[in-house]
Structure 1
Amino acid sequence: MTPKGVLPLRPAKAAEAPGSAQAPAPPGITRWWWVRHGPVPGLKGRILGRSDVACDTSDLDALIILADRLPPGATLLVSPLLRARQTAQALENAGALLQPAEEEDDLREQDFGTWEGHAWTELMTREPPDPAVTTFWSDPAREAPPEGESFAQVMARVAHVVETWSERMDGGDVVVVGHAGPIRAAVAQALDLSPAAALRLGIDPLSLTRIDRHAGPPRGWSVQCVNETIP
């Protein structure tokens, strides 16, 4: 029996023509395929960083199209949070042919500490005003919520994951099923964006972001798509 949250390896599809979405990665290039988890119903406006809530994976058409975009036999990294694991399983059920899932704790969403589960509007309208909220909004990319972490800290841990796995892979494909914050962090790493600039990126549920890391020399990056959604 396959352990919960771990996807079984299935036979890879036949490789397609070079340049297609399914063609193998060229030597020395690690292709990172970032997928945000499915939508979380009924909790719009609430802070759901490390909160372990379920997501909606009922949009089978979108999942099939997305699964077909992913390269067969790719390494699969998954956030340990339920909504990411559910989405990874749904993609496998929809036909994605990936390696057994490996959970990476550093791919979890930003930790909002004592604010988890609260609505932003509630925090902003507290009387008397909460000084922690005022401090956070003075620099939301670098200030951390009480008992939480800043987005800049998220960027640091995601960069470590990307570098570690890229060095380990030295070419090939990595599919990540995770969250908006870490996906923004990955784009920022590739484009040398500041934490504040990265927070302006929109990352929708079930969207695909693809970033290629070139081993070099010279070592570098190319961003193929960001927040590509199913029509």
Structure 2
Amino acid sequence: MAPTTRLLLVRHGETLANRDFRYIGNRDDMLTEQGCSQAEALAEALSILPVAAVYSSPRQRTHDTAQPIAERHHLPVQILSELVEGSFGAWEGLSRAEVLALGVEDERLLRAWEADPEMAPPGGESFAAIQRRVLAAVERLAQVHPDQTIVLVSHVGPIKVLLCSALGTSLSSLFQIFLDPATISVVDWRQPHPTVRLLNSHAHLGWSHARWMQ
């Protein structure tokens, strides 16, 4: 049987921009006080698992989410640039409604971007490009960590494109997946067929903190 690498996919804790559903992209926003508390809850939840390594996107919000997890396992946080969020270019810092309000051309581009994974925001990165870099990194990590469990602390875009790949679905499906801040998704990565074990779990945060409950 092919070796399996269990991927614990963690979205970073809350930032202020997350509250307004803004396109953060490559901005280096900090965690809120609640985001820091979420990071501690993540660390507690994952402390019972046999984690071999903790990898993080280079952004501060992901590193600060990964640090408590790594400390519980007496491991360093290893920075992996491929886990960074995709760039939204000219739209960074804006909400979807604000992009639509910019004018006819931005509305056209936004709707094209939402329909075509090969399209990128103006000056940004397409979901197809994000998927290519993330999959290359995961395949490399699978060679380094056969039959081990590793934590990848990342962002909405990279986690969603990885889930689409594991599910064998089109990238256009990513708009049908919702990921809350500081949630856990689990993929058993093996070739030729990965298995999604868990998606958007916020059990460690409590039901009241799930956005769909509010």
The C-alpha deviation readout for 1:152-209, integer Å capped at 9, x for no partner, is: 2111111111111112222211101111111111111111111111221111111000
Structure 1 residue 139: deviation in Å? 4.0
Structure 1 residue 151: deviation in Å? 1.2
Seen in structure 2, the aligned counterparts of structure 1 residues 212 and 124 have a Cα distance that, compared at 3 Å, is: same
TM-score normalised according to structure 2 size? 0.83
Which of residues 205, 208, 230 in structure 1 aligns to 2:184? 208
The C-alpha deviation readout for 1:82-129, integer Å capped at 9, x for no partner, is: 110111124346xx31521111111111111121122322221124x2
Seen in structure 2, the aligned counterparts of structure 1 residues 175 and 137 have a Cα distance that, compared at 3 Å, is: same
CA contact (8 A) 1:73 1:98 kept: no
5+ long unaligned stretches in structure 2? 207-214
Equivalent residue letter for 1:138 = A
The C-alpha deviation readout for 1:29-65, integer Å capped at 9, x for no partner, is: 2100011111112561322011111012546765454
**2:169 aligned with 1:193:** yes
Q: Structure 1 stretch 83-92 or stretch 143-152: which is displaced more?
A: 83-92
Structure 1 residue 66: deviation in Å? 2.6
Q: Which structure has the bigger radius of gyration?
A: 1
Which of residues 182, 185, 200 in structure 2 aligns to 1:227? 200
Which of residues 25, 28, 33 in structure 1 aligns to 2:8? 33
The C-alpha deviation readout for 1:65-94, integer Å capped at 9, x for no partner, is: 43233224421110001110111124346x
RMSD over aligned Cα atoms = 2.3
CA contact (8 A) 1:210 1:223 kept: yes
The SS at the match of 1:152 is: helix
Structure 1 CA distance, aligned partners of 2:33 and 2:65?
A: 7
> Residues 52-201 of structure 1 correspond to what in structure 2 (within 5 A)?
52-58=28-34, 62-70=38-46, 71-92=49-70, 96-97=72-73, 99-127=75-103, 129=104, 131-140=105-114, 141-201=117-177
Equivalent residue letter for 2:169 = L
Equivalent residue letter for 1:34 = L
CA contact (8 A) 2:43 2:68 kept: no
CA contact (8 A) 1:38 1:87 kept: yes
Percent identical: 28
TM-score normalised according to structure 1 size? 0.77
5+ long unaligned stretches in structure 1? 1-25
The SS at the match of 1:75 is: strand
